[in-house]
Structure 1
Amino acid sequence: MTKIIKLFRHNDALMPNVLAWSYVLFTYIFGFMAILANDLWINAIGVIFLAHSMVIAAYFIHECAHESVFKQSRHNQILGEILLWITGNSYSDYKALKKKHVRHHMDRADIVSFDFREKLSEYPKTLKLLQTLEWFYIPALEIMMHALVIVLPFIKSNRKHLRSRVALVLALRITMFTLLASISLKVLVLYPIAYMIFLTVMRFMDVHQHTYDLYETLDQERGEEVKKYDGAFEIANTYSNLISERFAWLNLFVLNFSYHNVHHDQQMQPWYALPKLHDKLYKGNETRVLTFSKLLKSYHTYRVARIINADEPYTNVHHGKDFIGVDGVSFLTAH
Structure 2
Amino acid sequence: MLTKIEETYFRCKGSLLPNVSALLYCHLSYLGGLGLILSLHPVLMVIGTFALAHGMVIASYLIHECGHNTLFKSSRHNALLGSMLNWLTGGCYGTFKDLREKHMRHHVDNADVVEFDYRGYLVRHPIQRKLMEALEWLYVPAIELLMHGVLIFAPFIFREKKDQRLRTARIILVRFSLLVMLFVHSPLAYLCYLIAHIMFLTILRFMDALQHNYDIIIGFDNDAELVRSRGDRDYEQAHTFSNPVSTRHPWLNLITLNFGYHNAHHSRPTAPWHELPKLHGALYGAQYESRLPFVIPFRKQLASFHKSRVARVMGDDREARGNLFAHRLQNGSAVGASGVSFLTPF
- Do the two structures share a fold, i.e. TM-score over 0.5? yes
Query: Structure 2 residue aligned with 1:284, among 287, 302, 306?
Result: 287
1:160 CA drift (Å)? 0.9
Q: Is the 8 A contact 2:108 2:229 kept in 1?
A: no
1:3 CA drift (Å)? 4.4
Amino acid at match of 2:341: S
The answer to whether structure 1 residue 316 and structure 2 residue 322 are counterparts is no
What's 1:209 paired with? 211
Q: Is the 8 A contact 2:79 2:96 kept in 1?
A: yes
Structure 1 residue runs of 5 or longer lacking an equivalent are none
1:303 CA drift (Å)? 0.4
1:260-296 Cα distance to aligned partner (Å, 9 max, x none): 0000000010000000111122232214100100110
Which runs of structure 2 are paired with 1:258-297 in the superposition (5 Å)? 258-282=260-284, 283-285=286-288, 286-287=291-292, 288-297=294-303
Which runs of structure 2 are paired with 1:1-335 in the superposition (5 Å)? 1=1, 2-5=3-6, 6-221=8-223, 223=225, 226-282=228-284, 283-285=286-288, 286-287=291-292, 288-310=294-316, 311-314=319-322, 315-317=325-327, 318-320=329-331, 323-335=334-346
1:297 CA drift (Å)? 0.8
1:237-280 Cα distance to aligned partner (Å, 9 max, x none): 10000110010000000000000000000001000000011112
* CA distance in 2 between partners of 1:292 and 1:250 (Å): 12
Amino acid at match of 1:97: L
* CA distance in 1 between partners of 2:230 and 2:345 (Å): 24
* CA distance in 2 between partners of 1:72 and 1:87 (Å): 23
Q: Is the 8 A contact 1:237 1:313 kept in 2?
A: no
Mean Cα displacement is larger for which, 201-210 or 287-296?
A: 287-296
> Aligned-pair RMSD on alpha carbons?
1.5
Q: Which has the higher helix share?
A: 2
* CA distance in 2 between partners of 1:179 and 1:111 (Å): 37
1:230 CA drift (Å)? 1.0
Structure 2 residue runs of 5 or longer lacking an equivalent are none
Q: 1:77 to 1:51 in 2, by over 3 A?
A: same
Mean Cα displacement is larger for which, 162-171 or 93-102?
A: 162-171
Amino acid at match of 2:305: Y
1:312 CA drift (Å)? 1.8
- Identical pairs, percent: 43
SS in 2 for 1:111: strand
* CA distance in 2 between partners of 1:182 and 1:119 (Å): 35
Amino acid at match of 1:171: L
TM-score by length of 2: 0.93
1:302-322 Cα distance to aligned partner (Å, 9 max, x none): 101100014323432443355
* CA distance in 2 between partners of 1:198 and 1:116 (Å): 21
* CA distance in 1 between partners of 2:331 and 2:4 (Å): 50
* CA distance in 2 between partners of 1:229 and 1:148 (Å): 30
Q: Is the 8 A contact 1:100 1:218 kept in 2?
A: no
1:58-77 Cα distance to aligned partner (Å, 9 max, x none): 00000000011111110100
Amino acid at match of 2:175: R
Q: Is the 8 A contact 2:300 2:332 kept in 1?
A: no
Mean Cα displacement is larger for which, 184-193 or 257-266?
A: 184-193
* CA distance in 1 between partners of 2:251 and 2:224 (Å): 38
SS in 2 for 1:121: helix
1:48-87 Cα distance to aligned partner (Å, 9 max, x none): 0000000000000000000111111101000000100011
Q: Is the 8 A contact 2:308 2:333 kept in 1?
A: no
Q: Is the 8 A contact 1:243 1:250 kept in 2?
A: yes
Q: 1:224 to 1:133 in 2, by over 3 A?
A: closer
